[in-house]
């Protein structure tokens, strides 16, 4: 529909198929057959697709010399809002490239077909510029592109951030390399409030640089929650001020493989500037092997016969010292992480060690739990939840905690992850009145040949039996990239653009399901990520005008 789209046309061919051995032919679908040109989408390279879009045929020009992004008149955020000022610079650079600087010019030439300014107007009295994003943050915005001004209106800075990304996605290069944009009106808001990415920094340590690059990419895809699965069995990289031994003993390395308080602050602020919440997960009572190294008596000693075997199981739920520790630890977490929620895990507790321990057995008898160790698990979790509630935090938990009948605060978010039966689980959780987020179909650590993004894209989170009221309790979902097989070497290309499929599902309207249109827009979107320095992997045989410059 316009010159940039012509440029973005991707010539795709079935290519291979020496690449395709006969016995594998049936395992995947290819979106194209023989040589054919995939038609450009009438929505260009917009991703995720906004709720309402009208793109006219009128093409306007932008000049790096004259174009500016500035606060509109009457905006409740002024020059002191560095969140927006940072975003203006960031998007100016994305649009015009890092190498160009805006020189002093005496006159700002403008013409009938030039857009000289994007005016950003925060319309509500409190712009929330200094605040943190939250699950109720307003991310809506209205964008009008016309000459000589484009106008972006949003009640809060969060919507302005989303609108700036959208504006930058509307800009294209015409056949002479001139930056162009079509006259457009957009009205947009997210379908779901919680749109997250889970990264796991325990199975492999992820250097801060990798985390920041992925927060940056999340913003390009309008994700708004970084679920930081920060510790787990293999390592404890979180440096605690209250319990420094935890990382000194439990990290892969006490200096090179830890997140210092400054690192954590930087991640949180980097996220905030992009409208991204940082929700840390400190998973207990299972998944805690690394905790035991720096905190004596925290884990349950396992027994072999009538003697301790030297190995340890889940957190020891029968000692008062355990709860003293948890109180202090989560008090620190509550102050370090500003988000209103903390993820408390609670999944996959292995009962074998508890069963082997005579003290635990005695306690079970005293409590009248019989041999039902899920009651002991619930006993622990209940006490933990009560502790965390005193820190004024809400909590998220993996679905087992709900399944086991633990009493939950009404604002608890239940995280559904178990594949097979996830739909029924969503029904149960919402029938019980709890908000929920979905991850089961979006475990991106599972890889397979060919275009698995289509599988993620086709998921419908509300596809379960339930009332309208129940559906409203689904506040979103998360794409999870567990860390067994990813580290700094391969995480970014493995996550993008596969996670982009989840991004559109969670942001765009429910009826945005055309897989061919999505293929076209996503191909262009991935090339844009590449141009912005992110090694997002290809969807299929194709090319980008500017290929990735790393290796």
Residues in region 270-299 near a second copy by CB under 8 A:
287, 289
Nearer to a second copy by C-beta: 10 or 473? 10
Q: Is 436 in the site for a second copy (CB under 8 A)?
A: no
Minimum distance between the CB of residue 424 and a second copy, rounded to whole angstroms?
Answer: 14
Q: Is 449 in the site for a second copy (CB under 8 A)?
A: yes
Q: Using the rule CB under 8 A, give the single segment among 175-183, 188-196, 197-205, 508-516 that binds a second copy.
A: 197-205
- Is residue 476 within 8 A of residue 503, CB to CB? The reply is no
Minimum distance between the CB of residue 371 and a second copy, rounded to whole angstroms?
Answer: 23
Q: Using the rule CB under 8 A, give the single segment among 65-73, 100-108, 135-143, 200-208 that binds a second copy.
A: 200-208
Minimum distance between the CB of residue 503 and a second copy, rounded to whole angstroms?
Answer: 18
In DSSP terms, 394 is beta-bridged to 341
Residues 219-258 that bind a second copy (CB under 8 A): 232-235, 252-253, 256-257
Helix (H) / strand (E) element for 290: namely helix 289-294
Q: Is 15 in the site for a second copy (CB under 8 A)?
A: yes
Residues in contact with a second copy, total (CB under 8 A)? 80
Residues 487-526 that bind a second copy (CB under 8 A): 487-490, 492-494
Minimum distance between the CB of residue 218 and a second copy, rounded to whole angstroms?
Answer: 14
Residue 369 is classified by DSSP as -
d(CA 296, CA 538): 48
Nearer to a second copy by C-beta: 11 or 178? 11
Look at the chain and count its residues: 551
Which of 432, 447, 509, 510 is close enough to bind a second copy by CB under 8 A?
447
Q: Is 538 in the site for a second copy (CB under 8 A)?
A: yes
Nearer to a second copy by C-beta: 19 or 109? 19
Q: Is 190 helix (H, G, I), strand (E, B) or coil?
A: coil
Q: Using the rule CB under 8 A, give the single segment among 126-134, 166-174, 458-466, 478-486 that binds a second copy.
A: 478-486
Q: Is 38 in the site for a second copy (CB under 8 A)?
A: no
463-467 contacts: CB < 8 A, separation 24 or more? 463/423, 464/423, 464/424, 464/426, 464/427, 465/423, 465/427, 466/426, 466/427, 466/430, 466/431
Residue 41 is classified by DSSP as P
Residues 298-357 that bind a second copy (CB under 8 A): 311, 347-348
Which of 418, 459, 462, 515 is close enough to bind a second copy by CB under 8 A?
418
Task: List phi, psi (to 5°) of 112.
Answer: -65, -20
d(CA 82, CA 85): 5
Minimum distance between the CB of residue 478 and a second copy, rounded to whole angstroms?
Answer: 12
Residues 358-387 that bind a second copy (CB under 8 A): none
Pairing of strands 36-38, 10-12: antiparallel
Residues 384-403 that bind a second copy (CB under 8 A): 398
Q: Is 482 in the site for a second copy (CB under 8 A)?
A: yes
Minimum distance between the CB of residue 232 and a second copy, rounded to whole angstroms?
Answer: 7
482-486 contacts: CB < 8 A, separation 24 or more? 482/198, 482/200, 482/203, 482/229, 482/443, 482/445, 483/199, 483/200, 483/201, 483/202, 483/203, 483/204, 483/206, 483/229, 483/445, 484/203, 484/445, 485/445, 486/204, 486/445
Q: Is 166 in the site for a second copy (CB under 8 A)?
A: no
Residue 492 CA: distances (Å) to CA of 23, 179, 416, 445, 525 = 31, 28, 25, 12, 15
- Residues with active-site annotation: 348
CA 46 to chain centre: 19
Q: Using the rule CB under 8 A, give the single segment among 71-79, 131-139, 444-452, 458-466 that binds a second copy.
A: 444-452
Nearer to a second copy by C-beta: 93 or 332? 93
d(CA 483, CA 160): 33
Burial grade of 3 (CB within 10 A; 0-12, 13-18, 19 or more):
middle
Q: Using the rule CB under 8 A, give the single segment among 6-14, 49-57, 334-342, 454-462 that binds a second copy.
A: 6-14
Q: How far apart are the first and last CA of the chain?
A: 34
Give Cβ neighbours of residue 138 (< 8 Å, ≥ 6 apart).
124, 154, 155, 156, 158, 159
Nearer to a second copy by C-beta: 159 or 271? 271
Nearer to a second copy by C-beta: 156 or 498? 498
Minimum distance between the CB of residue 382 and a second copy, rounded to whole angstroms?
Answer: 21
Helix axes 157-170, 82-96, angle to 10 degrees: 10
Residues 93-152 that bind a second copy (CB under 8 A): none
Residue with tokens 């045929």: 57
């Amino acid at each position: 529909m316009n010159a940039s789209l012509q440029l973005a046309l991707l010539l795709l061919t079935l290519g291979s198929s020496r690449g395709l051995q006969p016995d594998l032919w049936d395992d995947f679908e290819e979106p194209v057959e023989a040589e054919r040109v995939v038609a450009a989408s009438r929505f260009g390279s917009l991703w995720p697709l906004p709720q309402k879009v009208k793109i006219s045929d009128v093409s306007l020009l932008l000049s790096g010399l004259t174009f500016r992004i500035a606060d509109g008149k009457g905006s409740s955020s002024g020059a002191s809002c560095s969140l927006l000022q940072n975003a203006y610079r960031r998007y100016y650079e994305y649009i015009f490239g890092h190498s160009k600087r805006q020189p002093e010019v005496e006159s700002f030439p403008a013409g009938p077909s030039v857009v000289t300014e994007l005016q950003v107007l925060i319309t509500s009295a409190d712009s929330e510029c200094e605040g943190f994003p939250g699950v109720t943050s307003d991310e809506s915005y209205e964008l009008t592109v016309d000459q000589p001004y484009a106008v972006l209106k949003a009640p809060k800075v969060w919507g302005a951030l989303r609108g700036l990304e959208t504006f930058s996605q509307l800009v294209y290069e015409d056949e002479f390399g001139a930056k162009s944009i079509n006259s457009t009106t957009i009205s947009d808001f997210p379908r779901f409030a919680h749109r997250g990415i889970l990264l796991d920094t325990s199975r492999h340590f992820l250097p801060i640089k990798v985390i920041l690059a992925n927060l940056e990419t999340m913003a390009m895809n309008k994700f708004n929650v970084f679920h930081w699965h920060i510790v787990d069995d293999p390592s404890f990289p979180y440096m605690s001020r209250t319990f420094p031994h935890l990382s000194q003993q439990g990290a892969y390395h006490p200096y090179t493989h830890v997140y210092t308080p400054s690192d954590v602050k930087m991640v949180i602020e980097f996220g905030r500037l992009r409208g991204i919440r940082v929700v840390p997960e400190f998973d207990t009572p299972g998944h805690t092997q690394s905790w035991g190294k720096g905190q004596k008596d925290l884990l349950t000693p396992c027994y072999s016969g009538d003697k301790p075997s030297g190995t340890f199981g889940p957190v020891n739920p029968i000692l008062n010292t355990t709860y003293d520790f948890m109180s202090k630890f989560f008090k620190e977490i509550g102050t370090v992480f500003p988000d209103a929620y903390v993820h408390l895990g609670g999944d996959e507790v292995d009962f074998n060690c508890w069963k082997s321990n005579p003290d635990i057995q005695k306690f079970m008898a005293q409590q009248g739990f019989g041999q039902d160790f899920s009651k002991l698990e619930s006993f622990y979790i209940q006490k933990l939840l009560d502790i965390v509630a005193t820190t004024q935090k809400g909590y998220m938990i993996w679905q087992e905690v709900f399944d086991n009948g633990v009493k939950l605060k009404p604002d608890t978010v239940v995280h559904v992850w178990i594949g097979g039966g996830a739909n029924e689980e969503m029904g149960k959780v919402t029938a019980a009145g709890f908000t929920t987020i979905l991850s089961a179909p979006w475990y991106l650590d599972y890889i397979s040949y060919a275009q698995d993004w289509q599988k993620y894209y086709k998921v419908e989170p509300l596809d379960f039996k339930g009332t309208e009221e129940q559906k409203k309790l689904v506040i979103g979902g998360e794409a999870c990239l567990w860390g067994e097989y990813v580290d700094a070497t391969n995480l970014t290309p493995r996550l993008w653009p596969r996670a982009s499929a989840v991004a559109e599902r969670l942001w765009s309207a429910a009826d945005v399901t055309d897989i061919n249109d999505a293929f076209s827009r996503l191909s262009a979107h991935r090339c844009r990520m590449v141009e912005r320095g992110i090694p997002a992997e290809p969807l299929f045989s194709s090319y980008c005008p500017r290929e990735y410059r790393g290796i």
